[in-house]
Structures are given as C-alpha cells and as structure tokens.
Amino acid sequence: MRRLAPWIFLYSLLSAAGCATTGGIGMPMGESPQVGMASYYHSKFHGRPTASGEAYNESELTGAHLTLPFGTRVRVTNLANHRSVVVRINDRGPFTGGRVIDLSRRAAHELGFLIQGTTRVHMEVLGP
C-alpha cells in the first residue's frame, strides 16, 4: 500500500488539474469565454446526420464544437459587427486549424458573415 500512495496522490492531483481549465477548448460554464474563428456549414450538408445523431438543419441555430457536450447553449458574438446569436451544440468540429466553432447557415446569416465565410467570434457558454 505504501508503494501505491504516491501514485494515488499523483493521479488525484492530475485529475483535479484536468477539471480546472481556464477557458480553453472545453470552456466549462463559469470559465473565461473563448475567442477564435468561426465558419459555417455548406448547404450540401443539410439533412445529413450530425455527430449527435440528429439531422443538420441549416434553418436552425446550431453549431459544432470539439468538446462541449451536445445540447450546450453558447452565445456567439461576431467581433466585426457585434451581432450575437445563441446556438445549441449538436455536432463535433471544426476540424480545420484555427477555428473554434462551425455554425449553421442561419446562425452565420444572423451574425452577418455569409459572404466572408469566416469571422472572428467571442463564445460564451450559457448552459445546457
């Protein structure tokens, strides 16, 4: 048992550190907001299944994030024009470097970046 004590302590310490993020990719509720690039889904994906199992609907306010749980609501603000929308995470992504969220076509329209294709955004987790 004495030989296991240091390993148990180390495991506990690392586990606790893993839960205490500072607003990085996981961005748990109550932590610092995330800033980065957003893009939106092409219309060809309309009707196709997302990682959550539901079909992508370009008319809904949804988004894809690498680590946030499905169903999480996120306020996304376009830093170029200060427009914001609340989206529900229902897919995984983006898988392109430098991007923090992929949005539905409707969300991109409401944020005003359909023509540009990408924009710099501020993201804030609101909750489930």
Question: What's the confidence (pLDDT) of residue 14?
Answer: 36
What is the count of structural domains for the chain? 1
pLDDT at 16 over 60: no
In terms of Cβ atoms closer than 10 Å to its own Cβ (0-12, 13-18, 19+), residue 125 is buried
Indicate whether 32 pLDDT > 70: no
Question: What's the pTM?
Answer: 0.73
* CATH value at residue 122: 2.40.40.10
Name 51's Cβ contacts closer than 8 Å, sequence gap at least 6.
Answer: 64, 70, 90, 91, 92
The pLDDT value recorded for residue 44 is: 87
Structure confidence at residue 20 as a pLDDT band (50, 70, 90): very low
Each residue of 52-75: pLDDT tens digit?
A: 999 999 999 999 999 999 999 999
pLDDT at 41: 87
* Per-residue buried b or exposed e for 114-123, using 16+ beta carbons within 10 Å of the residue's own CB: eeeeebebbb
Q: What is the pLDDT of residue 43?
A: 84
Host domain of residue 60: 5-127
